[in-house]
A and B are shown apart, each in its own frame.
Chain A
Amino acid sequence: MTTAASRPRRSRSAPGFVAGYVILLAAFGVVPTVYAIYYAFTDSGGAFAGLSNFAVAAADFRFLPSIGHVALYLVCWLAALVVFVVGLALLLHRLGARGVGRALRLLYYLPGALAGAASVLVWLFVLDPAVSPVGFLLRAVGYQTFGQVIAPGNLPVLFAMIAFWTGAGGWIVVMYGALNTISPEVLEAARIDGAGAWQTARRIQIPLLRKWIVYMVILAFAGGTQLFVEPQLLSQASVGVAGRDYSPNQLSYDFAFQNDDVNTAAAISVELLVVGLVVAAVFVVRSGFFDAD
């Protein structure tokens, strides 16, 4: 998918360009990570504690349920993400750069422009039949009150919907960009060979998008395991009826600020990091992500 780059030239301004990123990455990525690892293996007095913090976390009555919640949520969210993002990007690509396509591109991207918490807030109103602009839809499927909408069984789907609405637009635009890098000659050849839209998508476009899809899944998986804002906001909005201690990240937060146990909180964070890294590694190796084309 990459085109041959022009011969790399050493530039003196390059370090300046990356410095901003590197400094922020170190301050808000690397240092906190190292710090969390340090905390995860020490006790409140700072002495080495082995795996005891991990044991405390695993023994907590909220731990396994929270993992189950997030696993279910990930299934809904990743499936929706891959299917709809790829589908909508293909659709956009067929519409081409004409007016409708352009308008849709903007439309898909818009929700992502709202700050995370604000866009979740929008959903809290949408999901309350008493104030929702689509309240008639909710009532039509049998939901009369906010409490019924946020029943425990509905939560994975609701969170996946919110996450899709806030996060998928950017990916649709990225996939659309990736589709544009596919050489027109290839598509032309497919057309001459008699491939329709479906055949072209299935045999040409999706295989060529594979790395982008893997990239999206890796990031979405890491983001999904760290689910926090959606359930935390819902928990506040529903006075604790739904979303309390829903995800491991919330549990970590509770350990840190309600049980005053930063070490166990750090242990859960480290577990999330390890899960994210392992899954990323598996996807990278299996998909040949770093292979040159």
Chain B
Amino acid sequence: MLLTRALMRSLIWGFFSRAHPPPRPSGRAPHRRGAAMIRRIRTVALLAAGAALTLAATACGGAADSTAGAKDGFTQAPQSDGPLTVWVDSTRLPAAQLYQKQHPAVKMDIVTYDGDANGSNYLQTKVSLFNRTGNGWPDVVFSSQNNEATWAVTAKFAAPLNKGLLPQSLLDGWARNANQPCTVDGTVYCLRNDLAQTVLWYDATLMAQWGYQVPTTWEQYEALGKKVAAEHPGYLVGAAGDTFTPEIYLWASKCGANHITGPKAVTVNTTSPACTRMASLLDSLIAARSMSAGSVFSSDFDKNEADKILMMPGPSWYGGSLFQGTFKTPKGRIAVAPMPQWSDDPSPAVGNVGGGTWLLSAHSAHLKAATDFLTWVTTSDDYQGKVAVGYPAYAPAAKTWLAAQSAAGYYANDVIGPLQAAAGQVWPDWGYGQFSQEAIWAATVTPGLTAGKSLVSMLPAWQQAIADYARSDGYQVTR
């Protein structure tokens, strides 16, 4: 039995890549084909192998019981020396590497994985396997998703952070509501990496050259989109082909598609005027061809459309990861403006695309080292302030980050004002459930969009799909 467990473990672990691929310049591990796909394929292959082996593993019975007592709000495993195992996506790899460089005495085992991008559920799958085999959990893990607390708490994986591990004074440094997705019944189970508030990115050079005004309302935005289609065909005012399209546009339009009202309760209404008017705006611009129906991370977009962007509503990490990193847009062209608003709505709202979270394993045998790393990676100026591609969720680091962005001179205007303002305007009635909104949109709406169906016509089907997936995760669904 022991032999089987050991074999099992080595098989599961053997699949992991210990090699460190070069960091992707992109933001929150979006999908791009090529190398990224090979990694994904390997991931799936190991998932499949892991799944096949689970039965064998579980046959051999129980998990190792920890004998240590409760402290810091959870039952801790016996502490020991040994390498600190950290899982990161390729974008966060520089963070772990920098920590290793600054703390050479800490033994680290850095593993890259897909970061749960696009709701791949990789982390949950692995934790479920580790829970069965009774070992193998990483000490600290980064996820590009904000909904990990919805399962990681019941799976007894995420350690409570505000019950003794971290001082409240430190936690108070996070931006308002930033750790809300991590909080269950007042207990904080993860730390937000970055805020991903949406703004309107635009090409300042082209706007000036063509004599256009940056739109401040959605009505102006739509009108300008049609004008661009007529005067400069081929140029884009946005893209609606990504899995996070609803988080950019419909969230900002206050569409109640994802109102999490309790730990297992959600209200879904995708056919209210707040949803339909944004969907028809997107439909009209897609029809006019100034709104791309492709994903900004597709090879096709990079090849044919990346140099035709006039405007692009999107999250704060678009600047560093998309324009600067992926599209290699020259310095001094890209500028930031506040997200447009509906002219009849006096309270401004913006969307949010990811942001990512850091979790600390309740099974960690190196809590001290794990807590030190977690604190450093989420709060340090050295990483969050100076290296991170996204807007840090930890406010003091955000200050350094904004100053660094201004000083670097990449942007054509001052990014501090619009980004800071948007950070406080994320519409709070769009929550984080266990089901992945991105995955649901991808499977339900994207194929129709590709086939030329209108978004408005697909809103009811989208609602049905959200309700179905929510129910399958045990949610009470209301309209």
Query: Interface of A with B (CB < 8 Å)?
Result: 27-28, 31-32, 35-36, 60-62, 117-118, 120-121, 124-125, 128-131, 144-148, 151-152, 228-229, 232-233, 236-242, 244-245, 253, 256-260, 262
Shortest CB distance A25–B (Å): 13
CB–CB B56/A124 < 8 A: no
CB–CB A241/B43 < 8 A: no
Per-residue interface assignment for chain B, residues 109 to 137, with 1 indicating a CB less than 8 Å from any chain A CB and 0 otherwise: 00000000111110011001100000000
Contacts of B52 in A (CB 8 A): 28
Judged by a CB distance under 8 angstroms, whether B315 is at the interface is no
Q: When A121-B37, A241-B442, A258-B124 are in contact, do A147 and B241 touch as well, CB less than 8 Å?
A: yes
- Beyond A147-B446, A232-B48, A240-B442, 12 additional contacts (C-beta under 8 Å) are A36-B55, A62-B468, A124-B33, A124-B41, A147-B294, A236-B41, A239-B295, A239-B438, A240-B438, A253-B51, A256-B128, A258-B125
With beta carbons under 8 angstroms apart, the residue of A31, A131, A237, A238 that contacts B56 is A31
Contacts of A28 in B (CB 8 A): 52, 56
CB–CB A256/B54 < 8 A: yes
The distance in angstroms between the C-alpha atoms of A253 and B222, with both chains bound, is 43
Contacts of B207 in A (CB 8 A): none
Contacts of A244 in B (CB 8 A): 439, 442-443
- Show 10 residue pairs from A and B whose CB-CB distance is below 8 angstroms, ordered by the A residue: A35-B55, A120-B41, A124-B33, A147-B447, A147-B450, A148-B451, A233-B41, A239-B442, A257-B124, A259-B473
Contacts of A62 in B (CB 8 A): 468, 472
CB–CB B59/A257 < 8 A: no
Of all chain A residues, which has the CB nearest B442? A240
In residues 285-334 of chain B, which contact A (Cβ within 8 Å)? 294-295, 298-300, 303
Shortest CB distance B248–A (Å): 15
CB–CB B56/A145 < 8 A: no
Contacts of A124 in B (CB 8 A): 33, 37, 41
CB–CB B128/A260 < 8 A: yes
Contacts of B241 in A (CB 8 A): 147
Shortest CB distance A239–B (Å): 4
Q: When A240-B118, A240-B438, A260-B128 are in contact, do A151 and B51 touch as well, CB less than 8 Å?
A: no
Of all chain A residues, which has the CB nearest B468? A61
Interface size band for B: 35 or more
CB–CB B155/A260 < 8 A: yes
The distance in angstroms between the C-alpha atoms of A124 and B40, with both chains bound, is 12
Contacts of B55 in A (CB 8 A): 31-32, 35-36
Of all chain A residues, which has the CB nearest B4? A27
Contacts of B40 in A (CB 8 A): 233, 236-237
Contacts of A232 in B (CB 8 A): 44, 47-48
The distance in angstroms between the C-alpha atoms of A256 and B124, with both chains bound, is 11
Q: Is the interface of A mostly helix, strand, loop or mixed?
A: helix
Judged by a CB distance under 8 angstroms, whether B45 is at the interface is yes
Contacts of A260 in B (CB 8 A): 128, 151, 155
Q: Is the interface of B mostly helix, strand, loop or mixed?
A: helix
Query: Interface of B with A (CB < 8 Å)?
Result: 31, 33-34, 37-38, 40-41, 43-45, 47-48, 51-52, 54-56, 58-59, 117-121, 124-125, 128-129, 151, 155, 241, 243, 294-295, 298-300, 303, 438-439, 442-443, 446-447, 450-451, 468, 471-474
CB–CB A240/B439 < 8 A: yes
Contacts of A229 in B (CB 8 A): 44, 48
Of all chain A residues, which has the CB nearest B31? A239
CB–CB B41/A131 < 8 A: no
Of all chain A residues, which has the CB nearest B439? A240
Contacts of B56 in A (CB 8 A): 27-28, 31-32
The distance in angstroms between the C-alpha atoms of A262 and B55, with both chains bound, is 10
CB–CB A130/B299 < 8 A: yes
Contacts of A245 in B (CB 8 A): 443
Q: When A131-B33, A151-B450, A253-B51 are in contact, do A145 and B442 touch as well, CB less than 8 Å?
A: no
Shortest CB distance A42–B (Å): 13
CB–CB A236/B44 < 8 A: yes
The distance in angstroms between the C-alpha atoms of A120 and B56, with both chains bound, is 27
Shortest CB distance A268–B (Å): 13
Of all chain A residues, which has the CB nearest B55? A32
Shortest CB distance B6–A (Å): 15
The distance in angstroms between the C-alpha atoms of A125 and B118, with both chains bound, is 20
Of all chain A residues, which has the CB nearest B445? A241
Contacts of B471 in A (CB 8 A): 61
CB–CB B447/A152 < 8 A: yes
Shortest CB distance A252–B (Å): 9
Contacts of A240 in B (CB 8 A): 118-119, 243, 438-439, 442-443
Of all chain A residues, which has the CB nearest B465? A61
With beta carbons under 8 angstroms apart, the residue of B37, B44, B303 that contacts A130 is B303
Contacts of A241 in B (CB 8 A): 243, 442-443, 446-447, 450
The distance in angstroms between the C-alpha atoms of A148 and B448, with both chains bound, is 10
CB–CB B443/A117 < 8 A: no
The distance in angstroms between the C-alpha atoms of A222 and B151, with both chains bound, is 34
Contacts of B446 in A (CB 8 A): 147, 241
With beta carbons under 8 angstroms apart, the residue of B119, B120, B151, B447 that contacts A242 is B447
Q: When A151-B451, A236-B120, A240-B243 are in contact, do A61 and B44 touch as well, CB less than 8 Å?
A: no
Contacts of A32 in B (CB 8 A): 55-56, 59
